[in-house]
């Protein structure tokens, strides 16, 4: 079973709006990462947040991590049509070495 569960499964918004995706996980982690996948293509790393961090920013991306609730959120501000993609959270567990376990993803559609 997947380590992460993402919510919502699908999200449709208008250009310029903000998009928020959530991820929950089950076990202790070293870090949590977010990846983006354009239709049927390879995954691209977006941002990494370590277990001792609470918030991180990268351009229009903001990630939060709450280890007490075992959850994370990804906020994309001022969305663009080019942000349309699937977004996955992935966790690197303390006991799994460096392997990543992926959630099921959120399909984001940004309408022009």
Partner 1 sequence: DSGVTQTPKHLITATGQRVTLRCSPRSGDLSVYWYQQSLDQGLQFLIQYYNGEERAKGNILERFSAQQFPDLHSELNLSSLELGDSALYFCASGQGDEKLFFGSGTQLSVL
The distance of Cα 59 from the centroid of its chain, to the nearest Å, equals 15
Minimum distance of partner 1 from residue 17's CB (angstroms): 27
Tokens of 108: 């984001």
Taken in order 47, 62, 38, 3, the sign of the CA dihedral is: positive
Please say which residue, 71 or 105, places its beta carbon nearer to partner 1: 105
Tokens of 85: 């993609």
Q: Interface mask (CB under 8 A) for partner 1, residues 40-79, using x and -? A: xxxxxx--x-------------------------------
Taken in order 98, 99, 103, 105, the sign of the CA dihedral is: positive
Size of the site for partner 1 (CB under 8 A): 24
> For residue 44, what are the contacts with CB-CB under 8 A and spacing of at least 6?
35, 36, 37, 38
Residue 96 within binding range of partner 1, rule CB under 8 A: yes
Minimum distance of partner 1 from residue 15's CB (angstroms): 27
Give the binding site for partner 1 (CB under 8 A).
Answer: 2, 30-31, 33, 35, 40-45, 48, 88, 92, 96-105
């Amino acid at each position: 079973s997947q380590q992460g569960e993402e919510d919502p499964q699908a999200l449709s918004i208008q250009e310029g709006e903000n998009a928020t995706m959530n991820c929950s996980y089950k076990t202790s982690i070293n870090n949590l990462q977010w990846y983006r996948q354009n239709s049927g293509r390879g995954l691209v790393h977006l941002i990494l947040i370590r277990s001792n961090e609470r918030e991180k920013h990268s351009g229009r991306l903001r990630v939060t991590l709450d280890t007490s609730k075992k959850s994370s959120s990804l906020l994309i501000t001022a969305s663009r049509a080019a942000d349309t993609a699937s977004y996955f959270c992935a966790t690197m567990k303390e006991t799994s070495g460096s392997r990543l376990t992926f959630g099921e993803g959120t399909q984001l559609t940004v309408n022009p």
